[in-house]
Structure 1
Amino acid sequence: MTKKRKRNPNGAGSITRRKDGRYVGMAYVTTTSGIRKRAYVYGKTWDEADAKLTELKSMEHGGIPVPDTDSTVAEFLTYWLAEEVAPNRRPKTYQGYASVVTVHLIPGLGKKRLRKLRTAEVRTWLNRLRQQCQCCKNGVDKERRKPRCCAVGECCERKLSTRMVQYIHAVLRNALQHALREELVLRNVARLVRTPAPTYRTGQGLTTAQAKLVLKELREHRFYALYVLALTMGMRRGELLGLTWTAVDLERGTLTVATNLQRVGGELRLVQPKTATSTRTLPVPGLAVDALREHQERQAQERVAAGMEWKENGLVFPSRIGTPYEPDNLRRSWGPVRRKFGLTHRFHDLRHTCITLLLDLGVPPHVVMEIAGHSDHGVTMQVYAHASLDEKRRALDKLNGELS
Structure 2
Amino acid sequence: MAKRANGEGSITRRKDGTYHGRVYVTTTSGTRKRVSVYGKTREEVRAKVTELQAAEAKGVPQPDTNMTLENYLVYWLARVIKVNRRPKTYQGYESVVRVHLVPGLGKKKIRTLRAAEVRTWLAGVTAECQCCKHGWDAERATPECCAAGECCGRRLSRRMVQSIHAVLRNALQNAVREELIVRNVAQLVQVPTPAYDTGKGLSVADARLLLKEAREDRLYALYVLALAMGMRRGELLGLRWESVNLERGSLIVERSLQRVDGRLTLVRPKTRSSVRTVPLPPLVVKALEEHQERQKQERAALAEDAWTETGLVFTSRVGTALEPDNLRRSWHPLRKRLGLDDLRFHDLRHSCVTLLLDLGVPPHIVQQIAGHSDHSVTMQVYAHASLDEMRKALDKLGDRLS
Give matches, 1:254-293, under 5 Å.
254-293=250-289
3-state SS in 1 of match to 2:24: strand
1:145, distance to aligned residue in structure 2 (A): 3.1
Paired position in structure 1 for 2:370? 372
Give matches, 1:127-142, under 5 Å.
127-142=123-138
**In structure 2, what residue type is equivalent to 1:332?**
R
Cα 1:21–1:309 shift into 2, 3 Å: farther
**In structure 2, what residue type is equivalent to 1:350?**
L
Give matches, 1:116-155, under 5 Å.
116-155=112-151
3-state SS in 1 of match to 2:305: helix
**In structure 2, what residue type is equivalent to 1:129?**
V
> Deviations for 1:163-215, whole angstroms, at most 9, x for unmatched residues?
11111111111111101100111111111111111111222111111111111
Whole-angstrom distance in 1 between the partners of 2:54 and 2:399: 70
Paired position in structure 2 for 1:206? 202
The reply to whether residue 329 of structure 1 matches residue 326 of structure 2 is yes
Whole-angstrom distance in 1 between the partners of 2:31 and 2:122: 36
Whole-angstrom distance in 2 between the partners of 1:13 and 1:393: 72
Q: Quick one: percent identity of the two aligned structures?
A: 67
The 10-residue stretch of structure 1 (201-210 or 13-22) with the greater mean CA deviation from structure 2: 13-22
2:300 to 300, 304, 328: 304
Paired position in structure 1 for 2:35? 39
1:316 to 302, 310, 313: 313
> Deviations for 1:323-344, whole angstroms, at most 9, x for unmatched residues?
1111132123111121111113
Paired position in structure 2 for 1:340? 337
Kept in 2: contact 1:226–1:317 (CA 8 A):
yes
Kept in 2: contact 1:205–1:345 (CA 8 A):
no
Superposition RMSD in Å:
1.2
Whole-angstrom distance in 2 between the partners of 1:340 and 1:373: 31
Paired position in structure 1 for 2:361? 363
**In structure 1, what residue type is equivalent to 2:382?**
Y
The reply to whether residue 242 of structure 1 matches residue 234 of structure 2 is no
Whole-angstrom distance in 2 between the partners of 1:293 and 1:239: 19
Whole-angstrom distance in 2 between the partners of 1:399 and 1:63: 61
Whole-angstrom distance in 2 between the partners of 1:321 and 1:310: 5
Kept in 1: contact 2:350–2:383 (CA 8 A):
no
**In structure 2, what residue type is equivalent to 1:185?**
I
Whole-angstrom distance in 2 between the partners of 1:213 and 1:145: 45
1:383 to 375, 381, 384: 381
1:79, distance to aligned residue in structure 2 (A): 0.7
Whole-angstrom distance in 1 between the partners of 2:350 and 2:208: 15
Cα 1:399–1:59 shift into 2, 3 Å: closer
| Unmatched 5+ stretches in structure 2 | none
Whole-angstrom distance in 2 between the partners of 1:387 and 1:61: 57
Whole-angstrom distance in 1 between the partners of 2:149 and 2:42: 47
TM-score, normalised to structure 1's length? 0.96
> Deviations for 1:192-242, whole angstroms, at most 9, x for unmatched residues?
111111111222111111111111111121111111100110000000000
**In structure 2, what residue type is equivalent to 1:61?**
A
**In structure 2, what residue type is equivalent to 1:170?**
A
Whole-angstrom distance in 2 between the partners of 1:210 and 1:386: 15
The reply to whether residue 395 of structure 1 matches residue 393 of structure 2 is yes
Structure 1 segments of 4+ aligned residues over 6 angstroms from their partners = none
How many residues align? The count is 400
Kept in 1: contact 2:201–2:384 (CA 8 A):
no
1:20, distance to aligned residue in structure 2 (A): 2.5
1:52, distance to aligned residue in structure 2 (A): 0.3
Whole-angstrom distance in 1 between the partners of 2:260 and 2:382: 29
Cα 1:57–1:403 shift into 2, 3 Å: closer
3-state SS in 1 of match to 2:175: helix
Whole-angstrom distance in 1 between the partners of 2:7 and 2:107: 32
Cα 1:66–1:403 shift into 2, 3 Å: closer
Kept in 2: contact 1:238–1:327 (CA 8 A):
no
> Deviations for 1:250-277, whole angstroms, at most 9, x for unmatched residues?
1111111100001111111111100001
The 10-residue stretch of structure 1 (151-160 or 389-398) with the greater mean CA deviation from structure 2: 389-398
Give matches, 1:4-153, under 5 Å.
5-153=1-149
TM-score, normalised to structure 2's length? 0.97
**In structure 2, what residue type is equivalent to 1:375?**
S
3-state SS in 1 of match to 2:224: helix
